[in-house]
Chain A
Amino acid sequence: MRTAGDRCPDHLLARSRRGPLSLVERRALQAHAAVCGLCRAALALGALHDAIPDSPQPGDDALVERLASQVASRHTGGHYRRGDRRRAWAVAAAVALLASAGGAAAWVTLRRPPPPARPTTNSAGGAPTAPARSPAPGPGTAPDPVAPAPAAAPPPVAAHRPARAAVAPSAAAASRRAGALVPEPNAADLFAAANAARGARDLRGAVTRYRLLQARYPGSAEARVSYVSAGDLLAQLAAPAEALAQFDRYLAPRPAGALAPEALFGRARSLQALDRRADENEAWRELLRRFPGSIYEVAARRRLDELAR
């Protein structure tokens, strides 16, 4: 049985987006659109897209030149320069992982009231309280190159009290007991601070904040996302064992979590960096098996081919 959609002149609609139609064709498409809500909606979608300006912005040329050089270097010649290697690590995973952290940050932003005019800082960065519960170290955990330490305390976190219920009871209670005048940052604060550091290319600072978040609010949604984000940053910092531990911490309780493809990709790349070939092989296969058609499929197959040689 033919439906309304089957009678649409799709070829005309498509061509109207690519080039001029003849007068007869234009009239035919217009006549059809007058009685077809489906094609009116499709035409309107195209018009909406066109109505969004896309003028170049200052710095675009330099950005394109830089990205073109990086991508061209990586895809040709069969070897990585050191800087490229780090960047390559990030390409597929980082886009998803880092951006997802940003997305979650935006999500967090939605739920918090406007920051107070008083831009106080809290003591969380300089004198963090004892973690409510430390996540169990994952397999392969090695000495932490960017572990939070008093001497390398994170910069102050903007202290505004979000209206979130994600604050771990123990942390909230500790804050109340201390009678602190400055509220302790909650998971959203720490997550936002980590993302801000990441955005400023302060990778170590970002990892420090993500870990602080994980230690203080291990059950929060922000902490869950942070395992993947921190894993990627640690990979960029040439700390694959620590990266692997982060990815494992994400995957262990959430093997089918929203970021599982990214975590599996990061896990496989970590194993590659650690030269654990058998584990790496299995990791790539697991990625392909569980998420066929993901954006990592090409990379996974390419690497499996390399491993098979």
Chain B
Amino acid sequence: MVPPLPPDPPDDPPGGLSDDPSDDLSDDLSDLAHRAAAGDRKATRALLVAVGPAMLRAIRKVLASGTPDVEDVAQEAMEALVTALPRFRGECTVLHFAWRVAVLTALANRRRLDLRARWQADGADAPAEAIAHDPSPVEALATRGRRDALAMLLDDLPGNQAEVLVLHAVFGLTIEEIAGAVGRPLETVRSRLRLAKQALRDRVSANPALAEILEVTS
């Protein structure tokens, strides 16, 4: 089955930012980003308040919703964003940049912490927070299954391949943009992406449960 293409999304990071008031702040965010990069504390704080909710939600997509580590990872991601701002060259919107930093930070934490076990444990523990915010227990289970599937798919990849794949297939960065973002030659990025996609396909082919989840969601 061929997955249908995503419905024409708004021009912002995938993940539901269209109802976010920060969407209207793209110009202001750019200005804030420049001032923050220059060390303006108020601008830094304002920028983080503007992009923070999106970062938080992005992190929760990667980590389990109920994990207490979300706050720590969010703080780490904000730190990483502020640290990276001087190197931000405007290859995407500030919001997109922040969102990317958040997801990559969460992914880095996941890999380092061998969080596959954590995912499974989360499932067993059924975080009350996650359930409370899902429409129904059935949907909560489905959400957890999707999170597990996403984690399983990404955790199996080498870090540099997972990064390239997420930047491309989730963030929508072109190979040229990824090369600029990660500071690697085009051919290296192209190779990593190809290997990641092959590994992803093989993984899905070998796991009927994963294939079913992907088919349902796509």
A14-B174 in contact (CB<8A): yes
Distance to closest chain A CB from B216 (angstroms): 8
Stretch at the interface among A36-44, A148-156, A171-179, A183-191: A36-44
Closest to A96 in B: B112
- Indicate the size class of the contact surface on chain B: 35 or more
Judged by DSSP, the binding face of A is helix
The reply on A20 being an interface residue by CB < 8 A is yes
- CA–CA, A21 to B58, complex, Å? 24
The reply on B71 being an interface residue by CB < 8 A is yes
B56-A49 in contact (CB<8A): no
| A106 touching B118 in the complex, CB below 8 Å, given contacts A54-B58, A63-B74 | yes
| A63 touching B71 in the complex, CB below 8 Å, given contacts A13-B169, A44-B3 | yes
Which B residues are CB-close (under 8 A) to A50?
6, 14-15, 217
Distance to closest chain A CB from B49 (angstroms): 5
- CA–CA, A54 to B175, complex, Å? 27
B78-A10 in contact (CB<8A): no
Which A residues are CB-close (under 8 A) to B68?
102, 199
Which B residues are CB-close (under 8 A) to A67?
48, 52, 71, 74-75, 78
- CA–CA, A242 to B39, complex, Å? 34
The reply on A121 being an interface residue by CB < 8 A is no
B52-A19 in contact (CB<8A): no
A63-B5 in contact (CB<8A): no
Closest to A61 in B: B53
Fill in one digit per residue for B186-218: 1 if any A CB lies within 8 Å of its CB, else 0.
000010011001101100110000000111011
Closest to A5 in B: B194
Which B residues are CB-close (under 8 A) to A110?
117, 120-121, 124
Stretch at the interface among A69-77, A139-147, A203-211: A69-77
Q: Scan residues 64-100 of chain A and give those whose CB is less than 8 A from a CB of chain B.
A: 64-65, 67-77, 90-92, 94-96, 98-100
- CA–CA, A6 to B195, complex, Å? 11
A42-B109 in contact (CB<8A): no
Known: A21-B5, A49-B15, A106-B118. 6 other contacts (CB 8 A): A11-B174, A14-B173, A38-B201, A44-B3, A52-B143, A54-B16
